């Protein structure tokens, strides 16, 4: 039986700037949640005979998100390239609403926090759907896995 999951994931630290405490926390939660449960099948790699579990390395290279995929034996299976331009607006909106959320947590009423949090989740979900569209035909994954990957794209996008 195929083990189509992400077993390891690293971010190219060379492309990252110093992160805020909040962004670092988001990164840690996304990585922890991915480690606990995910579904990821790189279709071209599987068609070429590679098998998981998969190791991923996410980096920004010349304005593109590069997802280097290695198979269960540690052999590089493929590198997926996704243009970051399609994510710029939603990432910008997500960071803006996150900033509002972090400020609200410190000062606002529970009702105001809930309103901002609902908006934050909606924008995050929109970015996740965009990622799923970009991965269509390349990777089979579920919404929860794509959501966590979108969080990590946001972390990388700080510099992009």
Q: What is the predicted pLDDT for the residue at 155?
A: 85
pTM of the model: 0.90
Q: What is the predicted pLDDT for the residue at 159?
A: 46
Contact (Cβ atoms closer than 8 angstroms) between residue 74 and residue 47: no
Question: pLDDT 10s digit of each residue in the chain, 160 long?
Answer: 579 999 999 998 776 666 678 778 888 999 999 999 999 999 999 999 999 999 999 998 888 999 999 999 999 999 999 998 999 999 999 989 988 988 888 998 999 999 999 999 999 999 999 999 999 999 999 999 999 999 999 888 764 3
Q: What is the predicted pLDDT for the residue at 59?
A: 92
Domain ranges of the chain: 6-157
In whole angstroms, how large is the CA radius of gyration of the chain? 16
Q: What is the predicted pLDDT for the residue at 145?
A: 98
DSSP β-bridge partners for residue 65 = 60, 82
The closest of 90, 100, 102 to 151, measured between CA atoms, is 90
Element (H, E) at 110: helix 110-135
> Distances in Å between the alpha carbon of 97 and those of 10, 44, 49, 106, 128?
26, 36, 43, 14, 16
Contact (Cβ atoms closer than 8 angstroms) between residue 65 and residue 58: yes
Contact (Cβ atoms closer than 8 angstroms) between residue 130 and residue 157: no
């Amino acid at each position: 039986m195929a083990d189509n999951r992400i077993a390891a994931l690293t971010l190219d630290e060379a492309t990252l700037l110093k992160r805020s405490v909040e962004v670092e926390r988001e990164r840690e939660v996304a990585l922890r949640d991915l480690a606990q449960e995910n579904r990821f099948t790189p279709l071209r790699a599987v068609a070429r005979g590679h098998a998981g579990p998969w190791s991923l390395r996410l980096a920004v290279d010349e304005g593109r998100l590069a997802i280097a995929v290695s198979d269960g034996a540690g052999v590089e299976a493929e590198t997926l390239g996704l243009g970051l331009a399609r994510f710029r607006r939603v990432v910008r909106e997500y960071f803006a609403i996150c900033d509002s959320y972090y400020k609200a947590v410190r000062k606002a009423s529970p009702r105001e926090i809930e309103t901002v949090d609902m908006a934050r989740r909606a924008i995050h979900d929109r970015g996740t759907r965009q990622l799923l569209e970009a991965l269509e035909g390349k990777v089979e994954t579920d919404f929860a896995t794509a959501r966590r990957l979108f969080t990590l794209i946001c972390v990388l996008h700080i510099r992009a």
